[in-house]
Structure 1
Amino acid sequence: MGKTAESVWKNCLNFVEDNIQEQAFKTWFIPIQPVKLNENVLTIQVPSKFFYEWLEEHYIKLLKISLQKELGKEAKLVYSIVMDQKYSGKEAYTVKIPSSNKEKMLPQEVDAPMPIDSKKVKNPFIIPGLQKIKIDSQLNTGYNFHNFIEGETNRLARSAGKAVAKRPGGTSFNPLFIYGGVGLGKTHLAHAIGLEAKENHPDKTVLYVSTEKFTQQFIEAVRNNNRNDFIHFYQMIDILIMDDVQFLSGKKATQDVFFHIFNHLHQRGNQIILTSDKPPVDIQDMEQRLISRFKWGLSADLQAPDYDTRLSILNYKIEKDGIEMPEDVLDYIAKSIKTNVRELEGSLNSIIAQATLNKKEITLELTQKTLSNFINNTRKEISIDYIQRTVCDYFKIPIDEIQSKTRKRDVVQARQLAMYFAKKFTKASLSSIGSQIGNRDHATVLHACKTVKNLSETDKVFRGYVEELSRKISVE
């Protein structure tokens, strides 16, 4: 029996799986489907243009080796890319891209924006009375890629940011939507992308603006009857970085004006970078048309740094400041402060200040004493994994059962309780909870929480489950 696309791709996957981490294999290779085999040319279908670019950037050598093992040295790989529907009235379409040919056959955009005469547009960042020819990027040079320490929990966002800085508007990461909790580096990364993009492309106009500032400028423009000038100014920007877009929630007029600015920039191929404390799907009181546009490109989250990253951050900071610190002290800080980068750096500064003011050496004893109040008063972080295990132990159900697709009543009940407690005890988004508990969507999590609440009010036995599990989870 001759080779088929399925058999060739299966053998390629076996080779790839042996050479990369399990999570990476599941993320980047399981979704791929073999399409056809024509002599030494294998066509595979990937879910998006983002997938294609990521594979070419990170796994092309591995793919080449695996394919040549199957089809010989003349082997070629062709990508069939299913693009998402972006504009209403346009059909979803497929493009085919040979890996040897980087030219991407994409459809022509319609209704190209009219050019804007920049000399006639008022700059909302100029202080009245002061003349300024160029637009100030509003970037903080202290927030750069050099001091943004890479780790497992921020690698995707950082890599995507690097790609955007290298080719703004030229990747499928448009918009690049960066989200995460307080103090995890969203603003830092946004500035770093802007600074590097400015360095790589000095001819492009880069602008960083907080959503609060954007809203204030818009209100001022409406008050002064300069709404069109305000819109035209932002439509001239080549790389727009907007921080904390969740603050657009409830501001209908500001959302409307940003919608038009976003469309104009995106159609011109200009780069948009957005940050938020939650993923697009969890932003409340936001127009659906904006939410859908936020999801056009790549949504990358920043999570609390793991131990190795925390240690790297501490080492970088003391080296930069020229401070010597024992390894056991750094280890203690890294293991004790797990919440975010801001609190990690704040703890280090407190220890240095205590040692300096009291003219003492930095020792483990001094560190423990300095951090004792903070650690004792900070509630230990409860993870979604811990919650799942506690619920499964309580009901004597294997954890892989609630991760499965089974609809058995006892398993469904345990899964719903795990989702309920994950929402109650963690700061994770609904979509993040769903992805970690059975790979469900945010709507399923919302339904689970409502079900648990309703049953607690009507079923005494079930209410007992909830109360007992709540005590078990909250007492670590």
Structure 2
Amino acid sequence: MSMTAQSVWSNCLLFIKDNIQPQAYKTWFEPIVAVKLTDNALSIQVPSKFFYEWLEEHYVKILKVSLTKELGEHAKLVYIIKMENTYGNKQPFTEKIPSSNRGALKSQDVDVPLNNKSPELRNPFVIPGIRNVKIESQLNPNYSFENFLEGDSNRLARSAGLAVAAKPGGTSFNPLLIFGGVGLGKTHLAHAIGVDIKDKYPEKTVLYISAEKFTQQYIDSVKKNNRNDFIHFYQIIDVLIIDDVQFLSGKTGTQDVFFHIFNHLHQNGKQVILTSDKAPVDMQDIEQRLLSRFKWGLSAELQHPDFETRVSILKNKLYRDGVEMPDDIIEYVAKNIKTNVRELEGAIISLIAQSSFNKKEITLDLARVIVEKFVKNTKREVSIDYIQKVVSDYFQMDVDTLQSKTRKRHIVQARQLAMFFAKKFTKASLASIGSQIGKRDHATVLHACKTVDNLSSTDKQFRKYVEDITKKLSV
């Protein structure tokens, strides 16, 4: 049977996948495309110069072993670096580098043509007319790892954040995308990483910015005809932290310019940190080429903190504020406010304030009054557990039955409805929804949502189910 580049590379990937960590495989090998096979030389296309250098530094041995198994001792690997140069010339171009000859790598100018000799750099963070090229990080020093308490709900994201802070641009977590619902600590963690990097590497330029502000700066640069200065400014950042990246949805111009800034930073070993209220797979109206880059590194989810973590957060908050409070009151607050950390801390602040202003002792009765008012005045975020209970009660079954593996039609439909409403009423990722509703995968959740949409438009009885449960969840 004649070998093709694709078949040889597929066999190599099977071997590589068995011998490295899944996240490393996903980050560094899934984006590679086999291009051609000439004699014993396999040409593979990689997304950037940085990508090529990382493979050569960390995976050259496993690449050599896998290729030798397929093509024999005289096997050669040729890298083709595909770089986008969409300013003026729309054609992508490539550069071939033999694996055995790293010294052959030439520097290619793929950036926006700029007048770099100009002594003045336009900084979009300062008032026009004031000469100031110093870039302030825009970080909040109060957000640190010390007061970002670890629990099962955030362990992966926090650990990845510490790894990035220790070696910015030097881990496979680039970009690091932190996602989760409102008030779970995405912004806190992003700032904490930046603050830690500034402490460890004072010479690095770190910048935190919201996606909304980034978009506004880009619009202003287009109006003032200094788009190139805007791009150049962001290309000199060593660690770029963009908060609420989902805000770029539907903004094609901003997405395009961010794509090129991202590529430049990534190719040059700079660190990108992003936060979002949803996983890349759930983002709407974001270009595929940008989404694919979001998936290059690690996507880490922040989930709702469990009871023990909520208690630790409250105790830490009270300790920092120098306030003592009985354990039974702390536990009462933690049991009754489950949605997010911001609400949890808000309730304890309200409790301290009421006690202080009215000169009342902090008692369990006072805590009940405050928590009841606080929960009533706070917009309730429907949880996946609550949705499962409402759907189970509606169909007169228990939650264990809803989550079970049974394929009985009425139970399957109830489970699909729970998944549908979880996607509709929460900001949880598809993977998180599947995990909490019977340990299913994200593809099952996606199928469930499509099934509910289809049945709602074709089955009158099923449409009534959807309407009834929607009313119950909207109360």
Relative to structure 1, the CA distance from residue 384 to residue 230 in structure 2 (aligned partners, 3 Å threshold; closer, same or farther) is: same
Asked if the contact 1:84–1:92 (Cα under 8 Å) also holds between the matched residues in 2, the reply is: no
Q: 1:47 aligns with which of 22, 30, 33?
A: 22
Q: 1:443 aligns with which of 442, 446, 450?
A: 446
Asked if the contact 1:175–1:297 (Cα under 8 Å) also holds between the matched residues in 2, the reply is: yes
Relative to structure 1, the CA distance from residue 385 to residue 370 in structure 2 (aligned partners, 3 Å threshold; closer, same or farther) is: closer
Q: Does 1:453 align with 2:428?
A: no
Asked if the contact 2:23–2:298 (Cα under 8 Å) also holds between the matched residues in 1, the reply is: no
Relative to structure 1, the CA distance from residue 211 to residue 157 in structure 2 (aligned partners, 3 Å threshold; closer, same or farther) is: same
| Separation (CA, whole Å) in 2 of partners of 1:301 and 1:275 | 10
TM-score with structure 2 length normalisation?
0.74
| Separation (CA, whole Å) in 2 of partners of 1:474 and 1:221 | 43
| Separation (CA, whole Å) in 2 of partners of 1:215 and 1:473 | 35
State the one-letter code of the partner of 2:311: L
Tell me, what secondary structure is at the counterpart of 2:233? helix
The superposition leaves residues 186-242 of structure 1 with CA deviations (integer Å, 9 ceiling, x where unpaired) of 111111101111222222211111111111111111111111111111111111101
TM-score with structure 1 length normalisation?
0.74
The alpha-carbon deviation at position 305 of structure 1 amounts to: 1.5
Relative to structure 1, the CA distance from residue 415 to residue 371 in structure 2 (aligned partners, 3 Å threshold; closer, same or farther) is: closer
The alpha-carbon deviation at position 472 of structure 1 amounts to: 7.7
Q: Does 1:179 align with 2:182?
A: no
Tell me, what secondary structure is at the counterpart of 1:250? coil
Report the number of matched residues.
401
Q: Does 1:207 align with 2:178?
A: no
| Separation (CA, whole Å) in 2 of partners of 1:287 and 1:429 | 19
Relative to structure 1, the CA distance from residue 271 to residue 418 in structure 2 (aligned partners, 3 Å threshold; closer, same or farther) is: same
Asked if the contact 1:338–1:344 (Cα under 8 Å) also holds between the matched residues in 2, the reply is: yes
| Separation (CA, whole Å) in 2 of partners of 1:311 and 1:361 | 21
State the one-letter code of the partner of 2:30: D
Relative to structure 1, the CA distance from residue 369 to residue 413 in structure 2 (aligned partners, 3 Å threshold; closer, same or farther) is: closer
Q: How does 1:7-406 map to 2 (within 5 A)?
A: 44-49=19-24, 83-85=29-31, 90-91=44-45, 103-105=58-60, 114=109, 117=116, 119=119, 121-376=121-376, 383-385=383-385, 387-388=387-388, 394=395, 399=400, 404=405
| Separation (CA, whole Å) in 2 of partners of 1:353 and 1:165 | 36
Relative to structure 1, the CA distance from residue 218 to residue 387 in structure 2 (aligned partners, 3 Å threshold; closer, same or farther) is: closer
The alpha-carbon deviation at position 314 of structure 1 amounts to: 1.0
Tell me, what secondary structure is at the counterpart of 1:301? strand
The alpha-carbon deviation at position 459 of structure 1 amounts to: 3.1
Relative to structure 1, the CA distance from residue 48 to residue 363 in structure 2 (aligned partners, 3 Å threshold; closer, same or farther) is: closer
Relative to structure 1, the CA distance from residue 396 to residue 347 in structure 2 (aligned partners, 3 Å threshold; closer, same or farther) is: closer
State the one-letter code of the partner of 1:47: P
Relative to structure 1, the CA distance from residue 225 to residue 113 in structure 2 (aligned partners, 3 Å threshold; closer, same or farther) is: farther
Tell me, what secondary structure is at the counterpart of 1:144? coil
Q: Which residue of 1 aligns with 2:101?
A: none
State the one-letter code of the partner of 1:451: N
Q: Does 1:428 align with 2:431?
A: no
| Separation (CA, whole Å) in 1 of partners of 2:465 and 2:372 | 35
Relative to structure 1, the CA distance from residue 381 to residue 227 in structure 2 (aligned partners, 3 Å threshold; closer, same or farther) is: closer
**What is the RMSD of the two structures over their aligned residues, measured on CA atoms?**
3.7
| Separation (CA, whole Å) in 2 of partners of 1:403 and 1:237 | 50
Relative to structure 1, the CA distance from residue 382 to residue 220 in structure 2 (aligned partners, 3 Å threshold; closer, same or farther) is: closer
Relative to structure 1, the CA distance from residue 411 to residue 198 in structure 2 (aligned partners, 3 Å threshold; closer, same or farther) is: same
| Separation (CA, whole Å) in 2 of partners of 1:466 and 1:129 | 58
The alpha-carbon deviation at position 260 of structure 1 amounts to: 0.7
State the one-letter code of the partner of 1:243: D
Relative to structure 1, the CA distance from residue 204 to residue 45 in structure 2 (aligned partners, 3 Å threshold; closer, same or farther) is: closer
Relative to structure 1, the CA distance from residue 322 to residue 35 in structure 2 (aligned partners, 3 Å threshold; closer, same or farther) is: same
| Separation (CA, whole Å) in 1 of partners of 2:157 and 2:228 | 34
The alpha-carbon deviation at position 329 of structure 1 amounts to: 1.2
Asked if the contact 2:122–2:133 (Cα under 8 Å) also holds between the matched residues in 1, the reply is: no
The alpha-carbon deviation at position 139 of structure 1 amounts to: 0.9
| Separation (CA, whole Å) in 2 of partners of 1:396 and 1:355 | 44
Q: Which residue of 2 aligns with 1:17?
A: none
The superposition leaves residues 151-184 of structure 1 with CA deviations (integer Å, 9 ceiling, x where unpaired) of 1111111110110011111111111011111111
| Separation (CA, whole Å) in 2 of partners of 1:368 and 1:410 | 40
| Separation (CA, whole Å) in 2 of partners of 1:88 and 1:266 | 22
Tell me, what secondary structure is at the counterpart of 1:333? helix
Tell me, what secondary structure is at the counterpart of 1:182? coil
The alpha-carbon deviation at position 140 of structure 1 amounts to: 0.9
Structure 2, unaligned runs of 5 or more: 1-12, 36-43, 64-78, 84-106
Structure 1, unaligned runs of 5 or more: 1-32, 37-42, 52-80
Asked if the contact 1:209–1:242 (Cα under 8 Å) also holds between the matched residues in 2, the reply is: yes
The alpha-carbon deviation at position 136 of structure 1 amounts to: 1.1
The alpha-carbon deviation at position 376 of structure 1 amounts to: 4.3
Asked if the contact 2:430–2:442 (Cα under 8 Å) also holds between the matched residues in 1, the reply is: no
Relative to structure 1, the CA distance from residue 231 to residue 466 in structure 2 (aligned partners, 3 Å threshold; closer, same or farther) is: closer
The alpha-carbon deviation at position 422 of structure 1 amounts to: 2.3
Asked if the contact 1:113–1:267 (Cα under 8 Å) also holds between the matched residues in 2, the reply is: no
| Separation (CA, whole Å) in 1 of partners of 2:226 and 2:382 | 50
| Separation (CA, whole Å) in 2 of partners of 1:34 and 1:291 | 25
The alpha-carbon deviation at position 399 of structure 1 amounts to: 4.9
The alpha-carbon deviation at position 434 of structure 1 amounts to: 3.7
Of residues 367-376 and 407-416 in structure 1, the stretch that sits farther from structure 2 once superposed is 407-416
Asked if the contact 1:47–1:83 (Cα under 8 Å) also holds between the matched residues in 2, the reply is: no
Q: Which residue of 1 aligns with 2:87?
A: none
